[in-house]
Amino acid sequence: MNIDIVTLFPEIFDNFLKTSILKRAQDENKVRVRPVNLRDYSTDKHRSVDEPPYGGGGGMVIGPQAFFHAVSALRGKDTKVVLLSPHGRLFTQKVAEELAQLKHIILLCGHYEGIDERVRQQLADDDISIGDYVLTGGETAAMVVIDAVVRLIPGVLGNELSASEESFTMGLLEYPHYTRPRDYEGFKVPEVLLSGNHGEINRWRRKEALRKTLKLRADLFESLSFNEEDLILIREVVQEELERLNL
């Protein structure tokens, strides 16, 4: 997969791209990520890309010209141009899975007050927001998108998290993890995890994922379907939680 990031601040990606799984994925040619300076595509002699808004008001707006030139230089035949903005569709795991199938993505990062509407209307194939808040620019959002997408490219995650483990809790929050020591200052690791009984361990993990999701993100239940075993676990969780609350 190829990812180009069109930005006024390419240097912000330096350490991000040199770290951890993202670095390894690039070293192993699973992905190529290239920050591109928007100013390189300005036709202005001072490399300026922003102008005051038509109609007045404060701040500066990034004009269409440099973005259009950048995209026409970078676009191939299988390219999706994605604008990052607070107006876009919400970025979720499902959107990450969708993007992970693509060959080439160009991420467009805005900054300042915003970007000329023609970039959104005429240039972008997709518009993505990472949440209902306003960032100073699309760069940090681009990092979130790249992080979530690259880990889904086949072969990028080694032993960190197998696909089967992820599908085990698909759509749920993850079950709790523990490592040594067994007893930290009196806070103990659940016995079942030390039992070596993998059937029991899997049941416990599924149940705790259901418990966590029910307690913290019950809204996620609406888009999930459950089998008979899950329904038994959910009933057990509800019963235990009621007892815990003395209800």
Least Cβ distance, residue 2 to ligand ADE (angstroms): 21
**Residue closest to ligand ADE, measured at CB:** 141
Q: Which is nearer to ligand ADE, 7 or 213 (CB)?
A: 7
CA 41, 47, 52, 54 torsion-angle sign: negative
DSSP helix/strand/coil, 92: coil
Report in angstroms how near the CB of residue 124 gets to ligand ADE at its nearest. Answer: 12
Write a three-state SS string for 192-220: HHHCCCHHHHHHHHHHHHHHHHHHHCHHH
The residue (of 111 and 211) whose beta carbon lies closer to ligand ADE is 111
List residues binding ligand ADE (CB under 6 A). 84-86, 129-131, 133-135, 138, 141
Residues 6+ apart with CB under 8 A from 191: none
Compare residues 18 and 89 and give the one whose CB is closer to ligand ADE: 89
Contact 46, 91 (CB under 8 A): no
- Give the shortest CB-129-to-ligand ADE separation in angstroms: 4
Identity of the residue, 136 or 225, whose beta carbon is nearer to ligand ADE in the bound complex? 136
Beta-bridge partner residues of 33:
3
Residue 177 CB, nearest approach to ligand ADE (Å): 29
SS3 30: coil
**For ligand ADE, which is the closer residue by CB, 37 or 85?**
85
Helix or strand or coil: residue 61?
Answer: strand
Minimum distance from residue 17 beta carbon to ligand ADE (Å): 19
CB of 12 to ligand ADE, least distance (A): 13
Angular region, 244: left φ>0, alpha ψ -120 to 50, beta rest: alpha
- 87/188 with CB nearer ligand ADE: 87
Distances from the Cα of 42 to the Cα of 63, 107, 139, 140, 219, angstroms:
10, 17, 19, 23, 46
